Structure 1
Amino acid sequence: MLFHFALKRLIRHGTLTVRYPDGTLRRYGSGSGPEAAMHIGTKRALRGMTFNPALAFGEAYMAGEIEPEGCSLFALLDLFILNMMNGGTHPAERAMEMFRLARRRLDQLNSAGRSKRNVAHHYDLNGRLYSLFLDRDRQYSCAYFATGTETLEQAQAAKKRHIAAKLHLHRPGLDILDIGCGWGGMAISLARDWGARVTGITLSTEQLAVARQRAEEAGLSDRVQFELMDYRDWTRPVDRVVSVGMFEHVGIDHYRRFFRAVRDALKEDGVALIHAIGRSEGPGSTNPWLAKYIFPGGYSPALSEVLPRIEKAGLLVTDIEVLRLHYAETIAQWRARFAGNRDTIASLTDDRFCRMFEFYLAGAELSFRHMGHMVWQVQLTRRIDALPLTRDYMLEAERVAARAQP
């Protein structure tokens, strides 16, 4: 059996027990250390795990054809990743990764029309879904854990302060463009807490409706506007540009165009802050299951793929920060909330959807804990003297805001 031999090569640390479709039980690994077990219930799932495991594992779990036994899905994935990160290999996966690398530019040709379809795939879902596992402000991006003991609400508020401080909002009334504004939380906070005038743009009709309603309910419609718009269509100069959790959807061949759009949107003394998921181990490819079911057209780039495009767009990098385990802690809290509200979420969707999201959240958390994923924040300007000489202004602004917004 090919899969049996593949597992013998892959599982060298810990112990994995597999119950095959015919009832056969086999154990792999060292016989000690972390343990996990699974039941492969169908021959179809077994074939998929043999020839394209990165795609088939998630699909089989969604269909109920693979089940953890005596452990959680998180523990099962953790054992696989432990071995992948310590030299274990699946022969088919090596070949499939080479194929994905070869075609990744094609997969990420995100024209305006395709970008809108990709966004709709993940964000234009049932309006209640995200409120059942995100924080109250619906921040669907990495939170900021200064101590590691914060609640999700506290850490997301801290993230917004952290980003606002980097935007150097030293006077009220600054005009801000928020690219990929989500449900409006960042834009509303910048207007309410920092006195800015903000325009948020999104390609999600669901997010647009919620963001507009929230701005109206907050009494900020005169200072916060939201538009259904692609970043390539923006034409008005602004004082600041912020983009949080959107750059992962841009696509490799569009990076230069994105940063040129940021440059063109900034006034001469303007400042931009881009916050995105990246990878610390160099260029790679998007997991095929994630690309098919969660983020079509998505890719988390290495900084080595981003910085040359920034330079060619004529922007200056004035600050870079890498947030390492912050997203792992964020997703851990999302997973707990999702599990606590699973019955409600299943009533809005179905069991297959819940299993899809459980697989997504577990795999995402582990990718930040063990597989080199991180979040980077890059501050950009057009002019070398657009900001103070040291970073002290960031720290002071953040401290003042934290005292005012506990």
Structure 2
Amino acid sequence: MLRPLDYALRNIVVRGHLKLIDPDGKSHEYGDPSAKTVIARIADRATERRIALNPGLNIGEAFADGRLTLEQGTIYDFLEAILQDLDPYEWPRWTRFIDSFRYITRWIQQYNPAPRAKRNIAHHYDIDGSIYDLFLDPDRQYSCAYFERPDQSLEDAQLAKKRHIAAKLDLQQGQKVLDIGSGWGGLALYLAQSAHVDVTGITLSEEQLKVSRERAEKSGLARSVDFQLIDYRALKGTFDRIVSVGMFEHVGVNHYRTFFRKVYELLADDGVAMIHSIGRFDGPGTTNQFIAKYIFPGGYIPALSEVFPPIEHERLISTDVEILRLHYAMTLRHWRQRFRASWHTLSERFGEKFCRVWEFYLAGSETAFRYQGLMVFQIQLSKNQDALPLTRDYIFETERDLRRDNAGDMKQPAGTAK
């Protein structure tokens, strides 16, 4: 075992129990023997060196290529054993140099003009949609659910998320609503159906656009919901409400002022906007190298300290801020379990390596929300302080009314995604 890797693991693995078998077949034990045991094997010396040199990228690549294998436990168990007590400063110094260099140069990776933004979105979303049917809920909500109780099903928690957002928007019948990054259309259709508003949904994914329009037609909401393939920067008009869920992570830190300037331009004087995004507790950072390379090129998870300055600069007022702490970890656990349950089907269609890449992405993301300082924030914005009721009671009252309605004929989302 390479000394730097052995030293790092002895300092990192505390509550977990990891047995790592090196290329010579020798077993090295780390952590608390009374804890759940995870046994992993490194196939060769080159893989061992790569993991020691740059674990942020090479652990995932080694797992995807079958050069890091789990003989007991799952890749989630392996990552949990390492990450639950991880202090980044315990890794060898050269790994911190790599992270520092990536931070200094992150503006290059996050430079997202419209053509590049479309290519980045296509990388993840313009693929065979049957993948998402196998691990998302039927509405294809591909963002953090809102768990009103720990034992809530994924379907109910995603419906609760839509209720929560609708309540915060304080919707009034007949209003014009903009959904920036409308995905497969589930939120836009929900808002139109539950609040009788007109919704414009915009996306850069041609596959999502196709599905969204089909769902609008199927549900009889095509006159109320208009889905468009357009970059937010090119959109014109005025909207009473603006919502964006899970899109801000794709904007890029270089473009935050542009994004919020556009929100200001599009928002009516008495309008309300709500931005739902993954965030980080521990200040500005960089995108995980594996995620940036294989899953979300051009993406970045911001700290609140990076979000509020452009909001303030563009003269928007932050009227409400909520932090959802473990909700995304719980969401990802459902997705990961469903993904693993569909492994045979997925591997037949896309191959074993594809499955390992996505399992690592889901497992790594879940551990990041549980142990590495990621969360979700919802920031409500307006142009003036009188745009919303004085207290937050309206949110709870609206959610209560929507919950009553959802228990009836809206239990199944309109035009369920296929």
TM-score under structure 1 normalisation?
Answer: 0.97
Please report how far the alpha carbon of residue 15 of structure 1 lies from its aligned counterpart in structure 2 after TM superposition: 3.1
In structure 1, the gaps of 5 or more residues are none
Question: CA separation of 1:33/1:341 partners in 2, compared to 1, >3 Å: closer, same or farther?
Answer: closer
Partner of 1:345: 346
Matching residue's letter, 1:102: I
Which shifted more, 76-85 or 175-184? 76-85
Q: For the Cα contact (< 8 Å) 1:129–1:348, is it kept in 2?
A: no
CA distance in 2, matches of 1:392, 1:83: 39
Q: For the Cα contact (< 8 Å) 1:269–1:383, is it kept in 2?
A: yes
Alignment of structure 1 residues 3-402 onto 2, 5 Å = 3-29=5-31, 31-85=33-87, 88-169=90-171, 171-402=172-403
CA distance in 1, matches of 2:357, 2:402: 38
CA distance in 2, matches of 1:90, 1:133: 37
Please report how far the alpha carbon of residue 294 of structure 1 lies from its aligned counterpart in structure 2 after TM superposition: 0.7
Q: For the Cα contact (< 8 Å) 1:167–1:240, is it kept in 2?
A: yes
Which shifted more, 11-20 or 377-386? 11-20
Matching residue's letter, 2:267: L
Matching residue's letter, 1:377: Q
Q: For the Cα contact (< 8 Å) 1:197–1:224, is it kept in 2?
A: yes
CA distance in 2, matches of 1:7, 1:368: 21
Matching residue's letter, 1:249: H
Q: Deviations over 1:320-373 (max 9, x none)?
A: 000001111111111111111111122221111100110010111111111110
Please report how far the alpha carbon of residue 88 of structure 1 lies from its aligned counterpart in structure 2 after TM superposition: 3.7
CA distance in 1, matches of 2:47, 2:40: 12
Please report how far the alpha carbon of residue 71 of structure 1 lies from its aligned counterpart in structure 2 after TM superposition: 1.5
SS at match of 1:321: strand
Matching residue's letter, 2:276: H
CA distance in 2, matches of 1:302, 1:344: 38
CA distance in 2, matches of 1:45, 1:86: 21
Q: Deviations over 1:100-136 (max 9, x none)?
A: 2111111101111111111011111102110110001
Please report how far the alpha carbon of residue 235 of structure 1 lies from its aligned counterpart in structure 2 after TM superposition: 0.8
Question: CA separation of 1:362/1:225 partners in 2, compared to 1, >3 Å: closer, same or farther?
Answer: same
SS at match of 2:85: helix
Matching residue's letter, 1:367: A
CA distance in 1, matches of 2:69, 2:265: 51
CA distance in 2, matches of 1:250, 1:349: 29
CA distance in 2, matches of 1:137, 1:14: 36
CA distance in 1, matches of 2:85, 2:271: 47
CA RMSD of aligned residues (A): 1.4
Please report how far the alpha carbon of residue 12 of structure 1 lies from its aligned counterpart in structure 2 after TM superposition: 4.5
Q: Deviations over 1:180-231 (max 9, x none)?
A: 0000000000111110100100000110100000000001111111111101
Please report how far the alpha carbon of residue 43 of structure 1 lies from its aligned counterpart in structure 2 after TM superposition: 2.6
Which shifted more, 392-401 or 2-11? 2-11
CA distance in 1, matches of 2:319, 2:13: 44
Please report how far the alpha carbon of residue 99 of structure 1 lies from its aligned counterpart in structure 2 after TM superposition: 1.5
Q: For the Cα contact (< 8 Å) 1:19–1:25, is it kept in 2?
A: yes
Which shifted more, 66-75 or 257-266? 66-75
SS at match of 1:367: helix
Q: For the Cα contact (< 8 Å) 2:89–2:96, is it kept in 1?
A: no
In structure 2, the gaps of 5 or more residues are 408-418
Q: For the Cα contact (< 8 Å) 1:10–1:90, is it kept in 2?
A: no
Please report how far the alpha carbon of residue 22 of structure 1 lies from its aligned counterpart in structure 2 after TM superposition: 2.3
CA distance in 2, matches of 1:42, 1:249: 36
Q: For the Cα contact (< 8 Å) 1:12–1:88, is it kept in 2?
A: no
SS at match of 2:375: strand
CA distance in 1, matches of 2:307, 2:14: 36
SS at match of 1:272: strand
CA distance in 2, matches of 1:126, 1:88: 40
CA distance in 1, matches of 2:137, 2:191: 18
Q: For the Cα contact (< 8 Å) 2:175–2:240, is it kept in 1?
A: yes
CA distance in 1, matches of 2:91, 2:67: 23
CA distance in 2, matches of 1:148, 1:33: 24
The number of residues matched between the two structures is 405
Please report how far the alpha carbon of residue 86 of structure 1 lies from its aligned counterpart in structure 2 after TM superposition: 8.8
Please report how far the alpha carbon of residue 4 of structure 1 lies from its aligned counterpart in structure 2 after TM superposition: 3.2
CA distance in 2, matches of 1:161, 1:257: 29
Matching residue's letter, 2:214: Q
Please report how far the alpha carbon of residue 70 of structure 1 lies from its aligned counterpart in structure 2 after TM superposition: 1.3
Q: Deviations over 1:222-259 (max 9, x none)?
A: 11111111010111111110000000000001001000
Please report how far the alpha carbon of residue 5 of structure 1 lies from its aligned counterpart in structure 2 after TM superposition: 3.8
Counting aligned pairs with the same residue, the percent is 50
SS at match of 1:39: strand
Matching residue's letter, 2:128: N
